[in-house]
Amino acid sequence: MPPIKTLLLTGKNNHDWRRSAPFCKDLLEKSGRFDVTLTEDPSAALVDPAALDGLQLIFTDYNGPIWSDAAKANFESAIKSGTGLVVLHAADNAFVDWYEYEKMVGLLWRAGTSHGDYHEFDVAIQDKTHPITRGMADYKQWDELYHKLVHMHSVPFRVLATAYSSPESRGTGNHEPVMVTTQYGKGRVYHHVLGHVWPGDADKHPTNSMRAFENPSFQRALLRGCEWAATGDVRD
């Protein structure tokens, strides 16, 4: 089977996209299942609809200024027509009031959303029948755990895994979603809520390290989510 043609969007983020985006590109390509083009200028990459022909997956690690109207329209059209979408961590913070993007993601960081301390917690697989999580075991993760994501525009969503947001870590005392799927037209959307890394020297603070990304279970979940968004299934 030929590799999945993928476009990875990055270039702006309040997190360290200069490390996270290349890491994800390398992870996907080393799996042997993806052919990834990384762009640091999504508006330019999305402005020509012909350039999106044959694209099976768009992966966004972007949280910055809004794209051009043409880029937005082509992005919407691609996902609606069946290109898969993966939304990583702070990409769910992006594009306040872009109605169609909010419909794609379903659960977003909006007013009232926050997180507790960077700490280790248990990721619990809640849906054991979905192709992404089929056969996956619960695992431990060092990360930043978002809480009170806002459900936008009554979009149907499916929670595949959660983590307990403990009061001891300045959390909510609730089980918060960390792996979510939605549908936008024909496009499958996988929202990978985890994946925190701040810019800076990793020796100075743990939130600056790539520890979240280095977790093999984190990587497996992300790879499976990408494959499902692109193809509708996961090869075990």
Q: What is the pLDDT of residues 29-47, one digit of tens each?
A: 999 999 999 999 999 999 9
- For the chain, the farthest-separated pair of C-alpha atoms sits apart, in whole angstroms, at 51
Measured in degrees and rounded to the nearest 5, phi and psi for residue 157 equal -145, 160
Confidence category of residue 236, pLDDT binned at 50, 70, 90: confident
* Domains, in order of start, for the chain: 4-110+151-163+177-231 (3.40.50.880)
The pTM score is: 0.98
- Tokens for 163, please give them: 């983590």
What H or E segment, with its residue span, contains residue 108? strand 107-108
**Do 55 and 78 meet the contact criterion of CB atoms below 8 Å apart?**
yes
Q: CB neighbours (10 Å) of residue 48?
A: 12
pLDDT digits (tens, 9 = 90+) for 66-99: 999 999 999 999 999 999 999 999 999 999 999 9
